[in-house]
Chain A
Amino acid sequence: MADTTQISPDTTSEGERTDLGRAADKARIGAPSDTVDTRAVIDGFTEEGESLPGGDDGVEQLGFKKHSHGNAPVVPEASRGERRRSFDLADFPTLTGLEEDWRFTPLKRLRGLHTDPLTGAAPAVSVTGAGNVTVETVDRSDARLGASATPEDRVAAAAWNAFTEATVITVPRETVADGEVMVAVTGTSPAAAAQHILIHAEAFSKAVVVLDHTGSVTLAQNVEIVVGDGAELTVVSVQEWDDDAVHVSSQQAKVGRDARYKHVVVSLGGDLVRLTPSSIFTATGAEVEMYGLYFADAGQHLEQRLLVDHAVPNCKSRVTYKGALQGQDAHTVWVGDVLIRKAAEGTDTYETNRNLILTDGARSDSVPNLEIETGLIEGAGHASATGRFDDEHLFYLMARGIPEKAARRLVVRGFLTEVIQQIKVPALEERLSESVERELAAGNL
């Protein structure tokens, strides 16, 4: 293998060619193409992915259009890895909406999460399920809090500084949780509030933790996740909020040696939900899977910004997010940042985002970003496609005898089921399937 990024000729994509910093040393893909002057075009690199082995091919097919970037004029940071991290709110300037990481978020609908003191009552937390998992409510002075995650944006920093007590869930060393850990987070007040939850799967433990968000809130939340060496942890974050809820949540995971971490997002309810899940590899041999499913109705803003930080060698990551949209001004945002740092030789990563637009008036933004600082990797790629279910699809299915409503449901169910099946908690899978059906019914589909 050469000392440059491993690339095979892209035979499928016809997307624009993208800048690649200076030849081999550093490749940033997905950055707006007017920000780099000196650029080398490398065969096989396009906005749509690099056609490296082992991934989705990113072919543009009828009904699916490749992603495009939003129109907002923004100056991206030089590298995703250089983004500011701090517990001090003063380190994050007041938001204007022009920041790269806030440009899609309608700030005026945050109900003050980014400007006001977060003094409201935090939503109630109730943990049930596994008996051999430790659940504590601790004071903010507890030394474990903040040990593994540092805020990366203003709202996360505000939440860090405002919470009064935190919930700490610990799966003890070498323990297999005797059931799913269900964490019910129930909002009862629309006053802006902060919350901190720490989930720690100690070495060689195994557990599934479900954060089940319901009710009404204006919430800035930090979920700090530690996956110990050899541990196997699944965290599912379900957002079935009431229609008025505003939820901004940073869900940072530190993933230890040979660990297996799976993170699943299901966002269905709420007025504005903005999740920033990240997986940071701290030692070799670990594998991360990140899945997401979101279904935006009229007026809903559902945003997810991911980071997979390959800072160490020989780790593997897969990201699969799927979204459906229906109704006027339904808006979804998916930004997937994958960073392969200089030291992360042997990295194997692929991320994909697919969106399905069911009606006119909806908008889906999808931006995969891949930064590669070493060429000595197994594979790296991404794909993004947004398709619409239009009259021709409907005609085709109806011409085979399938009634209109059933045809629409068939398409959406088929599209989203892939993600629901990843949860592996049958009762929750069933509940979420029903929720998706209700979404469809609500949209008069």
Chain B
Amino acid sequence: MSTLEIKDLHVSIDTEQGNIPILNGVTLTINTGETHAIMGPNGSGKSTLASTIAGHPRYKVDSGTITLDGEDVLSMSVDERARAGLFLAMQYPVEVPGVTMTNFLRTAKTALDGEAPSLRHWTKDVKTAMAQLRIDADFAQRNVNEGFSGGEKKRVEILQLELFRPKFAILDETDSGLDVDALKVVSEGVNREHGKGEMGTLLITHYTRILRYIKPDFVHVFVAGRIAEQGGPELADRLEDEGYDRFTAEAAVEA
């Protein structure tokens, strides 16, 4: 059992207009086997939290801590975080020129495990996982994400999730831009991996739609860079009915 612990996290970015704070004290603890949904309006800092955990250089941590089983995540490089067991399914996966999916997946798996996967099993695992996510077999020979549609890119993110088997998966708006069928396929993939009981999931979403397929244990509402309210799955239902207006209005009053 692992624990990802975020304490009083303050994050800002440097822009041409100067330094802009985005996260204003986020505290959150996720354990293996738990699914936490982070919901919130645009600009509330949800994706910043995801990118900060993964170590994107754009985001500057001003104070606070992130630890994985007590280890200081913030002092780790991006690749070290991945090898420690953190996986970010990106909102906008980039196209990587010159690298085939096959080569990329094997290289990443080797880096993550510290040894090359057994070729026979690996090839089979990749094929099976691709078939389950309904990714065409010929994608394996194409360059990473190159020319993939938005939905295909998201499926490939979940493909990696299933093949790399992280301790914690952070899904950054994986549901955005997916049609219902793709949403189901992607959700099934997350549930398959989560169902093995060895992963904690942080599901970041703008919409409640995906929560019909991936059931959260905890729901956190993000507003203006901090958690405005938290509760169980019932909070998501309430958001579906009421939207974010209640929270954004409160934030405006506070400001």
Contacts and interface: CB of A to CB of B under 8 A. Distances in A.
Contacts of B96: 63, 393, 396-397, 411
A401 B112 contact: yes
B54 interface: yes
B108 A396 contact: no
A92 interface: no
User: Main SS of chain A's interface residues?
Assistant: helix
B164 A400 contact: yes
B57 interface: yes
B95 A61 contact: yes
Contact of B82 (A398, A404, A412): A398
A334 to B, nearest CB: 17
Contact of B97 (A63, A399, A402, A407): A63
A436 to B, nearest CB: 12
B50 to A, nearest CB: 11
A127 B192 CA distance: 62
Interface residues on A, range: 20 to 34
Interface string B94-126: 111111100110011001100000000000000
B66 to A, nearest CB: 15
B239 to A, nearest CB: 29
A64 B94 CA distance: 11
A398 B103 contact: no
Interface string B59-100: 000000000000000000111011100011010011111111
B165 to A, nearest CB: 12
Given A401-B111, A406-B111, A412 B98 contact: yes
- Interface of chain B: mostly helix, strand, loop or mixed: mixed
Interface in B162-200: 164
A103 to B, nearest CB: 28
A264 to B, nearest CB: 19
Interface string A363-388: 00000000000000000000000010
B157 to A, nearest CB: 10
B98 A356 contact: yes
Contacts of B99: 397, 410-411, 414-415
B160 interface: yes
A399 B79 CA distance: 5
Contact of A392 (B94, B98, B147): B94
Nearest to B84: A401
A147 interface: no
Contacts of A397: 96, 99, 104, 108
B56 interface: yes
B77 A398 contact: yes
B5 interface: no
Nearest to B90: A396
Nearest to B97: A387
B128 to A, nearest CB: 20
A59 interface: yes
B146 interface: yes
B32 to A, nearest CB: 19
The residue among B77, B96, B144 with the most chain A CB atoms within 10 A of its own CB is B96
Given A401-B79, A410-B107, A62 B98 contact: no
Nearest to B100: A414
Nearest to A388: B97
A142 B87 CA distance: 69
B177 to A, nearest CB: 15
Contact of A356 (B78, B97, B108): B97
**Interface-centre pick from A354, A397, A403, A411 (highest chain B CB count, 10 A):** A397
Nearest to B148: A61
A116 interface: no
A395 interface: yes
Contacts of A407: 79
A420 to B, nearest CB: 13
A101 B226 CA distance: 61
Nearest to A407: B79
A356 to B, nearest CB: 6
Interface string B146-165: 11000000000000100010
A387 B143 CA distance: 14
A3 interface: no
A443 to B, nearest CB: 16
A34 interface: no
Contacts of A401: 79, 82-83, 108, 111-112, 164
Contact of A402 (B54, B81, B95, B108): B108
A401 B77 CA distance: 10
A153 B112 CA distance: 55
A402 B94 contact: no
Interface in B221-250: none
Contact of A411 (B77, B97, B164): B97
Contact of B108 (A354, A400, A404): A400
Contacts of A414: 98-100, 103, 143
Chain A CB count within 10 A is highest, among B78, B95, B144, for B78
A413 B97 CA distance: 11
Interface of A: 59, 61-64, 354, 356, 387, 389, 391-393, 395-404, 406-407, 410-416
Interface of B: 54-57, 77-79, 81-83, 87-88, 90, 93-100, 103-104, 107-108, 111-112, 143-144, 146-147, 160, 164
28 contacts: A61-B95, A61-B147, A63-B96, A63-B97, A64-B97, A396-B94, A397-B108, A399-B55, A399-B78, A399-B88, A399-B90, A400-B79, A400-B108, A400-B112, A400-B160, A401-B164, A402-B107, A403-B79, A406-B111, A410-B99, A410-B104, A410-B107, A411-B97, A411-B99, A414-B103, A414-B143, A415-B98, A415-B99
Given A64-B95, A403-B111, 4 more contacts: A61-B95, A396-B90, A398-B78, A414-B98
